[in-house]
Amino acid sequence: MKTARNTTAKTAVLEIFGKSKIALSHTEIYKQIEDVCDRVTVYRILDRLVNDDIVHKIVDLDGTVKYAKCHHHAQRVHIHNHAHFSCEKCLEITCLENVKPSYIMPHNYKVNNINFTLSGLCPNCLNSNI
């Protein structure tokens, strides 16, 4: 049993997540705190935050990896089965916490987790497109 520590770098990363409404990549996070710590440290902090269920990892349609803070509501059990929206124009990824797909699976598969990502135009880009 290891006890997590509150380090300067970890605090900086959490502050960035607190300010952001969208999902962020390792590079985007690192650029904001390159004077605080090393690249590798950011990777390791993100790993730990994912393991501790404080942040979840999202893989975009093109393979880009991003991270977003989890919203734990009042639920005891915390599962990241919500959908994500990937804007083709501004490339932002947003959590769609309330969008949950329904589907019918063939037999003989055991589904443990799902990943549902939609792409297109986000509200911002849709409006500026008129």
Partner DNA sequence: AACTAATTGCAACATTGTTGCGATATTATT
Partner DNA sequence: AATAATATCGCAACAATGTTGCAATTAGTT
67, 58 in Cβ contact below 8 A? yes
Nearest to 49 by CA among 95, 7, 96: 7
Q: How far is the CB of 87 from DNA (least distance, A)?
A: 17
Residue 71 within binding range of a second copy, rule CB under 8 A: no
Stretch of 3-11, 45-53, 70-78, 97-105 contacting a second copy, by CB under 8 A: 97-105
Q: State which residue, 45 or 122, has the beta carbon closest to DNA.
A: 45
Site for a second copy in 38-67 (CB under 8 A): 59-63, 65
Residue 54 in 3-state DSSP?
coil
Q: Which one of residues 16, 22, 48, 50 is an interface residue with DNA (CB under 7 A)?
A: 48
Residue 130 within binding range of a second copy, rule CB under 8 A: no
Measured at the alpha carbon of residue 109, what is the angle toward residues 108 and 112, in degrees to the nearest 5? 150
Say which entry of DNA, a second copy, Zn ion, none residue 106 contacts (CB below 5 to 8 A, set by partner kind): a second copy
CA 14, CA 35: separation in Å to the nearest integer? Answer: 16
Q: Quote the tokens at residue 18.
A: 């607190």
Measured at the alpha carbon of residue 50, what is the angle toward residues 48 and 52, in degrees to the nearest 5? 70
Q: Give contact residues for a second copy (rule: CB under 8 A).
A: 59-63, 65, 83, 85, 88, 96, 98-106, 108-123, 126-127
